[in-house]
A and B are shown apart, each in its own frame.
Chain A
Amino acid sequence: MSSAMIDLIIKATLDTLYMVGVSGILAALLGVPLGVMLYVTRPRQILARPALNQALGMVTNIGRSIPFIILMVAIIPFTRMVVGTSIGTNAAIVPLTIAAIPFVARLVEGALNEIPPGLVEAAQSMGATPGQIITKVLLPEARGGIITGLTITVVTLVSYSAMAGAVGGGGLGDLGIRYGYNRFNPTVMLITVAILVVMVQGFQSLGDYLVRKSDRK
């Protein structure tokens, strides 16, 4: 394999890590609060707002039901508005983040749902405000579940990022399609897939490790 090819593979790997890393962090920053909102505004919850809850739920569901490849194309005008361009890795980060936010939110909501209601009741009996219940009870107690959810999200982002080639996004998926598939180069195809497998394994192991560390049960 030519050294140019190796450089391409290295660059594609870094592009993928960059897209997944940035969109993962942004999705966590926006998705975790949305997930908390989805949970605490439920009827009979600490900030019960049934109408708001339904509206948020609907938006989240819409976000989750649009296929990523369509979302990516559909929001091109928005992407251009945010990052100034509709091609390249930065442009790919926008749809990746938008696709991942509702995903994270539902997983966080699910993790919060696992907390025994008695813990919230106990905190209320101690005179905790809703904000204190979120920061001192809900989030710490759901930490393991939230990390599990974020791990799933990152792994999903790795596979979504492979589709980013469709908007000229670069990364390993793009490389695999262009060189491996379109130019009949099975070696490149295999190498990109192998790197993706290792990457996913790595993220999963890191996630599992963090869950184990936070788990006191």
Chain B
Amino acid sequence: MITLRNVSKTYHIKGGHKDGARGHVKVVEALKNADLHVPQGSIHGVIGLSGAGKSTLIRCVNLLERPTSGSVTVDGQEMTRLSSSALNQARHRIGMIFQHFNLLTTRNVFDNVALPLELMGMKRTAIRERVMPLLELTGLTDKISQYPAQLSGGQKQRVAIARALASEPRVLLCDEATSALDPQTTGSILELLRDINQKLGLTILLITHEMEVVKSICHRVSLISGGELVEEADVGDFFTAPGTQLGREFLNDFLQLEPPKGLVERLQAEPGEHTHPVVRLAFSGDAVSTPLISRLARDCEVDVSILQAKVESIQERTLGLMIAELLGPAEKTRQAIDYLESHDLHVEVLGHVQRDD
């Protein structure tokens, strides 16, 4: 539904003067050769730190930013080659919501939702028929004649969602849609997004810096850093075993699953004569319900000392995470790691610690 091929965006900032003709030109590569494919009906998240190029990426989809090079296809249409009137037509099929809602303060809820339809030249009665069900879907029927200033953040984003859906788009772009909301409201907005994804089969591309958002509604996730898409994975896989250092940092930060401080100081990279490994285990699927740790003790004759453990639900999947020391002779612990890996656990050796005894 959305395909970016080799999309780059370069800004030329003239030294110091925003509009100026003087000074030397600074070149900023906000997006470098981005490739992205979002299939019909899926929810794709792009996560990254601020300044990583997320905003540029999502704005390149509906050409709020025109890519310097590369191709952008939405619903089979090559966006970069459209005339300005054809582009406006195409944008009717692409809804967008924003971090700061961007509602018109001088229009009430109904008129805000009606705006895109007015822009399309729709008649007032037809507009009403289109708007009312959307207000119902987003739970705003009782707020119909209130003004944005009278609404809470979550209600404003609901209005913005209803507005984005008014032109019956095939695609919804979410630009940090929950970043200005408290955790509880974030939850309800995400639920609404998942709901419309399922009910309307809407394809959603969202950018965020919050793992929570990715975890709760995305099917796939891309990681962006320095203008480049550095990793892409199914959400379950990403949470089990991120493929990049940055991915691991995001995950650790989110899960707060770090080995205890005292232990980190004693960790050494290479095994010594009297050391034993500290491992991070990530397991999902069948492995979650298998009593692996006790089997490990029985079959491999190693003791397991659990330092940290956590079970997370990533949508339908259950994900177990654990940091543990494997206590036993070097040969046995090696066997234990092989054993765990053979049971589809993701094992990462964090380091080795000296034995106390």
How far apart are the CA atoms of A129 and B95 in the complex, in Å?
16
How far apart are the CA atoms of A50 and B20 in the complex, in Å?
11
**Number of residues of chain B lying within 8 A (CB) of chain A:** 31
Q: List 27 A-B contacts (CB under 8 A).
A: A118-B98, A122-B96, A122-B98, A122-B102, A123-B119, A124-B64, A124-B91, A125-B62, A125-B96, A126-B91, A126-B92, A126-B115, A126-B116, A126-B119, A126-B167, A127-B89, A127-B91, A127-B119, A132-B119, A136-B115, A136-B118, A140-B107, A141-B105, A143-B106, A216-B105, A216-B106, A217-B149
**Chain B binding surface SS class:** mixed
A140 CB contacts on chain B under 8 angstroms: 104, 106-107
A216 CB contacts on chain B under 8 angstroms: 105-106, 147-149
How far apart are the CA atoms of A68 and B95 in the complex, in Å?
51
Chain A CB within 8 A of B354 CB:
no
Please tell me which one of the listed residues A121, A132, A214 contacts residue B106 in the complex, with CB atoms under 8 A apart.
A214
Chain B CB within 8 A of A67 CB:
no
How far apart are the CA atoms of A196 and B24 in the complex, in Å?
55
How far apart are the CA atoms of A50 and B167 in the complex, in Å?
34
Chain B CB within 8 A of A10 CB:
no
Chain A CB within 8 A of B94 CB:
yes
Chain B CB within 8 A of A77 CB:
no
B188 → A minimal CB distance (Å): 22
Q: Check B102 against A118 for contact (C-beta < 8 Å).
A: yes
A136 → B minimal CB distance (Å): 7
B119 CB contacts on chain A under 8 angstroms: 123, 126-128, 132, 136
Q: Within A171-217, which residues are at the interface with B (CB < 8 Å)?
A: 214, 216-217
Q: Within A38-64, which residues are at the interface with B (CB < 8 Å)?
A: 43, 50
Most buried by A among B64, B102, B167: B102
B106 CB contacts on chain A under 8 angstroms: 140-141, 143, 214, 216
A113-137 vs B, CB cutoff 8 Å, 1 = contact: the mask equals 0001011011111111100100011
A137 CB contacts on chain B under 8 angstroms: 104
Q: Check A116 against B102 for contact (C-beta < 8 Å).
A: yes
A residues adjacent to B (C-beta < 8 A)? 43, 50, 116, 118-119, 121-129, 132, 136-137, 140-141, 143, 214, 216-217
A80 → B minimal CB distance (Å): 41
Q: Check B167 against A118 for contact (C-beta < 8 Å).
A: no
A122 CB contacts on chain B under 8 angstroms: 96, 98, 102
Q: If the complex has contacts A118-B102, A122-B96, A122-B98, are A127 and B19 also in contact, measured as CB distance less than 8 A?
A: no
Q: Check A119 against B88 for contact (C-beta < 8 Å).
A: no
A126 CB contacts on chain B under 8 angstroms: 91-92, 96, 115-116, 119, 163, 167
Q: Check B148 against A127 for contact (C-beta < 8 Å).
A: no
How far apart are the CA atoms of A136 and B117 in the complex, in Å?
12
B161 → A minimal CB distance (Å): 12
Q: Within B14-41, which residues are at the interface with A (CB < 8 Å)?
A: 19
How far apart are the CA atoms of A133 and B120 in the complex, in Å?
13
Q: Check A125 against B88 for contact (C-beta < 8 Å).
A: no
A125 CB contacts on chain B under 8 angstroms: 62, 64, 91, 94-96, 173
Q: Check B104 against A119 for contact (C-beta < 8 Å).
A: yes
B206 → A minimal CB distance (Å): 14
How far apart are the CA atoms of A126 and B64 in the complex, in Å?
11
How far apart are the CA atoms of A216 and B112 in the complex, in Å?
13
Please tell me which one of the listed residues B88, B98, B105, B149 contacts residue A129 in the complex, with CB atoms under 8 A apart.
B88
Q: Within B91-147, which residues are at the interface with A (CB < 8 Å)?
A: 91-92, 94-96, 98, 100, 102, 104-107, 115-116, 118-120, 147
How far apart are the CA atoms of A127 and B115 in the complex, in Å?
11
Most buried by A among B19, B62, B98, B119: B119
B268 → A minimal CB distance (Å): 51
B120 CB contacts on chain A under 8 angstroms: 127
B286 → A minimal CB distance (Å): 44
Chain A CB within 8 A of B90 CB:
yes
Most buried by B among A124, A126, A217: A126
Residue of A nearest to B89 (CB): A127
Residue of B nearest to A132 (CB): B119
B100 CB contacts on chain A under 8 angstroms: 116, 118
B104 CB contacts on chain A under 8 angstroms: 119, 137, 140-141
